[in-house]
Chains A and B, each alone.
Chain A
Protein backbone atom coordinates (compact mmCIF):
# COMPACT_ATOMS: atom_id res chain seq x y z
CA UNK A 1 0.00 0.00 0.00
CA UNK A 2 1.22 3.39 -0.90
CA UNK A 3 1.91 5.59 2.04
CA UNK A 4 0.26 8.91 1.87
CA UNK A 5 2.68 11.78 1.90
CA UNK A 6 2.26 13.70 5.08
CA UNK A 7 1.08 17.19 4.43
CA UNK A 8 3.19 19.68 6.24
CA UNK A 9 1.09 21.24 8.96
CA UNK A 10 0.65 24.91 8.35
CA UNK A 11 1.96 26.56 11.48
CA UNK A 12 2.28 30.26 11.73
CA UNK A 13 5.78 31.22 12.79
CA UNK A 14 4.60 32.94 15.96
CA UNK A 15 2.60 29.97 17.12
CA UNK A 16 5.59 27.76 16.65
CA UNK A 17 7.71 30.08 18.73
CA UNK A 18 5.15 30.23 21.47
CA UNK A 19 4.85 26.51 21.37
CA UNK A 20 8.58 26.20 21.99
CA UNK A 21 8.43 28.64 24.88
CA UNK A 22 5.43 26.79 26.29
CA UNK A 23 7.12 23.42 25.93
CA UNK A 24 10.21 24.72 27.70
CA UNK A 25 8.16 25.89 30.60
CA UNK A 26 6.28 22.65 30.85
CA UNK A 27 9.60 20.97 31.57
CA UNK A 28 9.41 21.68 35.26
CA UNK A 29 10.32 25.34 35.17
CA UNK A 30 6.83 26.66 35.45
CA UNK A 31 6.40 25.59 39.06
CA UNK A 32 9.60 27.38 40.01
CA UNK A 33 8.53 30.53 38.22
CA UNK A 34 5.13 30.61 39.84
CA UNK A 35 6.58 29.90 43.26
CA UNK A 36 9.02 32.75 42.83
CA UNK A 37 6.65 35.26 41.35
CA UNK A 38 4.96 36.59 44.50
CA UNK A 39 8.25 37.50 46.17
CA UNK A 40 9.77 39.13 43.11
CA UNK A 41 10.51 42.81 43.54
CA UNK A 42 9.26 45.09 40.83
CA UNK A 43 11.99 47.49 39.83
CA UNK A 44 10.33 49.91 37.44
CA UNK A 45 7.93 52.75 38.01
CA UNK A 46 5.70 51.23 35.38
CA UNK A 47 4.72 48.30 37.57
CA UNK A 48 1.50 48.49 39.53
CA UNK A 49 -0.42 46.88 42.35
CA UNK A 50 0.12 43.20 43.01
CA UNK A 51 -3.44 42.22 43.82
CA UNK A 52 -6.18 42.87 41.34
CA UNK A 53 -8.52 44.63 43.74
CA UNK A 54 -6.10 47.46 44.38
CA UNK A 55 -5.20 47.54 40.68
CA UNK A 56 -8.90 47.98 39.91
CA UNK A 57 -9.20 50.69 42.54
CA UNK A 58 -6.33 52.63 40.96
CA UNK A 59 -8.55 53.05 37.94
CA UNK A 60 -11.97 53.26 39.60
CA UNK A 61 -10.92 55.57 42.47
CA UNK A 62 -14.00 54.65 44.47
CA UNK A 63 -16.50 54.61 41.59
CA UNK A 64 -18.84 51.63 41.28
CA UNK A 65 -18.84 50.18 37.78
CA UNK A 66 -22.06 48.93 36.22
CA UNK A 67 -21.99 45.44 34.75
CA UNK A 68 -23.49 46.19 31.36
CA UNK A 69 -22.77 47.32 27.80
CA UNK A 70 -19.21 45.96 27.82
CA UNK A 71 -18.13 42.53 26.68
CA UNK A 72 -14.91 40.57 27.13
CA UNK A 73 -14.36 37.64 24.80
CA UNK A 74 -11.73 35.02 25.60
CA UNK A 75 -11.56 31.28 25.00
CA UNK A 76 -13.14 29.16 27.76
CA UNK A 77 -10.12 26.89 27.73
CA UNK A 78 -6.65 28.14 26.77
CA UNK A 79 -4.17 25.40 25.94
CA UNK A 80 -1.23 27.77 26.09
CA UNK A 81 -1.28 30.49 28.73
CA UNK A 82 1.41 32.39 26.84
CA UNK A 83 -0.92 33.49 24.09
CA UNK A 84 -4.56 33.96 24.94
CA UNK A 85 -6.69 36.06 22.64
CA UNK A 86 -8.78 38.77 24.29
CA UNK A 87 -11.37 41.07 22.71
CA UNK A 88 -12.96 43.97 24.53
CA UNK A 89 -16.03 45.55 22.99
CA UNK A 90 -18.07 48.48 24.26
CA UNK A 91 -19.99 49.06 21.02
CA UNK A 92 -23.28 48.58 22.90
CA UNK A 93 -22.38 51.53 25.13
CA UNK A 94 -21.48 53.67 22.12
CA UNK A 95 -24.89 52.92 20.61
CA UNK A 96 -26.45 54.38 23.75
CA UNK A 97 -24.48 57.59 23.30
CA UNK A 98 -21.71 56.82 25.77
CA UNK A 99 -18.22 57.82 24.62
CA UNK A 100 -15.54 55.43 25.81
CA UNK A 101 -12.20 56.99 26.74
CA UNK A 102 -10.30 53.87 27.70
CA UNK A 103 -10.50 50.11 28.08
CA UNK A 104 -8.57 48.16 30.75
CA UNK A 105 -7.76 44.49 31.29
CA UNK A 106 -6.91 42.82 34.59
CA UNK A 107 -5.85 39.20 35.09
CA UNK A 108 -6.84 38.46 38.68
CA UNK A 109 -4.35 35.63 39.35
CA UNK A 110 -1.30 36.87 37.43
CA UNK A 111 1.82 37.98 39.35
CA UNK A 112 1.01 41.49 38.05
CA UNK A 113 -2.73 41.79 37.48
CA UNK A 114 -2.61 45.00 35.44
CA UNK A 115 -2.36 43.81 31.84
CA UNK A 116 -2.94 46.83 29.62
CA UNK A 117 -4.77 50.10 29.06
CA UNK A 118 -6.16 50.96 25.64
CA UNK A 119 -6.82 54.68 25.16
CA UNK A 120 -9.40 55.63 22.59
CA UNK A 121 -10.48 58.89 20.95
CA UNK A 122 -13.18 60.32 18.72
CA UNK A 123 -11.31 58.93 15.72
CA UNK A 124 -11.50 55.41 17.15
CA UNK A 125 -14.81 54.77 15.39
CA UNK A 126 -15.70 51.66 17.37
CA UNK A 127 -14.68 51.10 21.02
CA UNK A 128 -13.36 47.61 20.41
CA UNK A 129 -9.88 46.14 20.60
CA UNK A 130 -8.29 42.70 20.25
CA UNK A 131 -4.95 41.63 21.67
CA UNK A 132 -3.14 38.60 23.08
CA UNK A 133 -2.21 38.16 26.71
CA UNK A 134 -0.46 35.82 29.13
CA UNK A 135 -2.27 33.93 31.86
CA UNK A 136 -0.23 32.33 34.63
CA UNK A 137 -3.02 29.88 35.53
CA UNK A 138 -6.79 29.41 35.30
CA UNK A 139 -8.42 32.60 36.44
CA UNK A 140 -10.99 35.34 36.14
CA UNK A 141 -10.18 38.17 33.74
CA UNK A 142 -11.81 41.55 34.28
CA UNK A 143 -12.38 44.31 31.71
CA UNK A 144 -13.20 47.91 32.54
CA UNK A 145 -14.38 50.69 30.26
CA UNK A 146 -14.05 54.35 31.26
CA UNK A 147 -16.97 56.45 29.99
CA UNK A 148 -16.32 60.17 29.38
CA UNK A 149 -18.94 61.14 31.99
CA UNK A 150 -16.73 59.60 34.71
CA UNK A 151 -18.63 56.33 35.08
CA UNK A 152 -17.25 52.83 34.47
CA UNK A 153 -18.49 49.61 32.91
CA UNK A 154 -17.26 46.18 33.97
CA UNK A 155 -17.27 42.75 32.37
CA UNK A 156 -15.59 39.52 33.42
CA UNK A 157 -14.91 36.05 32.12
CA UNK A 158 -13.22 32.89 33.37
CA UNK A 159 -10.46 31.17 31.43
CA UNK A 160 -9.22 27.68 32.18
CA UNK A 161 -5.51 27.42 31.38
CA UNK A 162 -3.88 24.08 30.58
CA UNK A 163 -0.24 25.30 30.45
CA UNK A 164 0.45 28.50 32.33
CA UNK A 165 2.03 31.52 30.69
CA UNK A 166 5.46 32.58 31.81
CA UNK A 167 5.37 35.66 33.89
CA UNK A 168 2.79 38.24 34.70
Chain B
Protein backbone atom coordinates (compact mmCIF):
# COMPACT_ATOMS: atom_id res chain seq x y z
CA UNK B 1 0.00 0.00 0.00
CA UNK B 2 1.28 3.43 -0.87
CA UNK B 3 2.02 5.89 1.86
CA UNK B 4 -0.75 8.28 2.80
CA UNK B 5 0.53 11.80 2.21
CA UNK B 6 -1.51 15.00 2.59
CA UNK B 7 -0.81 18.14 0.59
CA UNK B 8 -2.34 21.61 0.70
CA UNK B 9 -1.95 24.77 -1.29
CA UNK B 10 -2.85 28.03 0.50
CA UNK B 11 -1.57 31.55 -0.08
CA UNK B 12 1.06 32.69 2.43
CA UNK B 13 -0.19 36.26 2.48
CA UNK B 14 -3.54 37.94 1.86
CA UNK B 15 -5.53 41.03 2.78
CA UNK B 16 -8.30 41.06 5.37
CA UNK B 17 -11.60 40.32 3.63
CA UNK B 18 -9.98 38.57 0.65
CA UNK B 19 -11.62 35.34 -0.49
CA UNK B 20 -8.79 32.90 -1.13
CA UNK B 21 -8.87 29.48 -2.76
CA UNK B 22 -7.52 26.49 -0.86
CA UNK B 23 -6.64 23.21 -2.56
CA UNK B 24 -6.07 19.99 -0.67
CA UNK B 25 -5.12 16.49 -1.72
CA UNK B 26 -4.29 13.34 0.17
CA UNK B 27 -2.81 10.26 -1.46
CA UNK B 28 -5.12 7.44 -0.44
CA UNK B 29 -6.60 4.58 -2.46
CA UNK B 30 -10.15 5.02 -1.05
CA UNK B 31 -10.90 1.31 -1.40
CA UNK B 32 -14.68 1.04 -1.69
CA UNK B 33 -15.01 -2.47 -0.30
CA UNK B 34 -16.91 -3.82 -3.29
CA UNK B 35 -14.01 -4.45 -5.64
CA UNK B 36 -12.61 -7.94 -5.92
CA UNK B 37 -9.08 -9.11 -6.53
CA UNK B 38 -8.10 -11.63 -9.22
CA UNK B 39 -9.05 -14.56 -7.00
CA UNK B 40 -12.49 -13.16 -6.42
CA UNK B 41 -11.91 -12.09 -2.82
CA UNK B 42 -13.40 -8.79 -1.78
CA UNK B 43 -10.71 -6.16 -1.21
CA UNK B 44 -11.41 -4.80 2.30
CA UNK B 45 -12.95 -1.37 2.56
CA UNK B 46 -10.49 1.38 3.47
CA UNK B 47 -11.64 4.95 3.08
CA UNK B 48 -10.96 8.36 4.52
CA UNK B 49 -14.30 9.41 5.93
CA UNK B 50 -13.79 13.01 6.93
CA UNK B 51 -11.79 16.11 6.21
CA UNK B 52 -11.80 19.32 8.22
CA UNK B 53 -10.18 22.70 7.66
CA UNK B 54 -9.68 24.92 10.72
CA UNK B 55 -8.42 28.47 11.11
CA UNK B 56 -7.06 29.34 14.56
CA UNK B 57 -8.72 26.17 15.84
CA UNK B 58 -12.15 27.05 14.45
CA UNK B 59 -13.52 24.63 11.82
CA UNK B 60 -14.74 26.50 8.72
CA UNK B 61 -15.02 23.77 6.08
CA UNK B 62 -15.52 20.03 6.38
CA UNK B 63 -16.38 17.07 4.19
CA UNK B 64 -18.15 13.78 4.96
CA UNK B 65 -16.84 11.31 2.41
CA UNK B 66 -18.36 8.13 1.08
CA UNK B 67 -16.84 5.50 -1.20
CA UNK B 68 -17.85 7.43 -4.33
CA UNK B 69 -15.11 9.98 -3.67
CA UNK B 70 -12.22 9.15 -6.01
CA UNK B 71 -8.88 7.78 -4.84
CA UNK B 72 -6.59 10.57 -3.67
CA UNK B 73 -9.43 12.81 -2.40
CA UNK B 74 -9.07 16.33 -3.78
CA UNK B 75 -10.95 19.40 -2.60
CA UNK B 76 -10.84 23.00 -3.70
CA UNK B 77 -12.79 25.48 -1.58
CA UNK B 78 -12.76 29.09 -0.43
CA UNK B 79 -11.88 31.02 2.70
CA UNK B 80 -12.62 34.61 3.68
CA UNK B 81 -9.57 36.00 5.46
CA UNK B 82 -10.39 37.48 8.89
CA UNK B 83 -6.75 38.22 9.80
CA UNK B 84 -3.41 36.51 10.32
CA UNK B 85 -3.45 33.01 11.74
CA UNK B 86 -2.78 29.36 11.30
CA UNK B 87 -4.67 26.75 9.33
CA UNK B 88 -4.97 23.14 10.44
CA UNK B 89 -6.11 20.52 7.96
CA UNK B 90 -7.18 17.11 9.30
CA UNK B 91 -8.10 13.89 7.48
CA UNK B 92 -9.52 10.86 9.34
CA UNK B 93 -10.10 7.34 8.12
CA UNK B 94 -12.73 4.86 9.27
CA UNK B 95 -10.29 3.08 11.57
CA UNK B 96 -9.56 6.24 13.52
CA UNK B 97 -6.20 7.02 11.97
CA UNK B 98 -5.64 10.65 11.13
CA UNK B 99 -3.25 12.88 9.23
CA UNK B 100 -2.83 16.62 9.58
CA UNK B 101 -0.97 19.61 8.21
CA UNK B 102 -0.55 23.19 9.42
CA UNK B 103 -0.03 26.34 7.35
CA UNK B 104 0.44 29.98 8.41
CA UNK B 105 -1.28 32.91 6.78
CA UNK B 106 0.02 36.45 7.25
CA UNK B 107 -2.11 39.50 6.57
CA UNK B 108 -0.27 42.15 4.57
Q: Is the CB of B69 within 8 A of A133?
A: yes
Q: Is the CB of A123 within 8 A of B60?
A: yes
The digit string for B57-84, where 1 denotes a CB below 8 A from any CB of A, is 0111111111111111111111110100
**Could you tell me which residues of chain A, from 69 to 126, have a CB within 8 Å of some CB in chain B?**
82-84, 107, 110-112, 114-126
Q: Is the CB of A114 within 8 A of B66?
A: yes
Question: Separation in Å of the A48 CB from the closest CB of chain B?
Answer: 7
**Could you tell me which residues of chain B, from 70 to 107, have a CB within 8 Å of some CB in chain A?**
70-80, 82, 94
Q: Which residues of A contact B77 (CB under 8 A)?
A: 118, 124, 128-130
Contact of B49 among A46, A119, A121, A133 (CB under 8 A): A46
- How many of A's residues come within 8 Å of B, CB to CB? 47
Q: Is the CB of B20 within 8 A of A167?
A: no
Say whether chain A's binding surface is mostly helix, strand, loop, or mixed.
Answer: mixed
The digit string for A29-55, where 1 denotes a CB below 8 A from any CB of B, is 100110011001001101110000000
> Which residues of B does A touch, CB under 8 Å?
19-20, 32-36, 45, 49, 55, 58-80, 82, 94
Known: A21-B71, A167-B67. 4 other contacts (CB 8 A): A46-B94, A110-B68, A166-B32, A168-B66
> Which residues of A does B touch, CB under 8 Å?
14, 17-18, 21, 29, 32-33, 36-37, 40, 43-44, 46-48, 82-84, 107, 110-112, 114-126, 128-135, 165-168
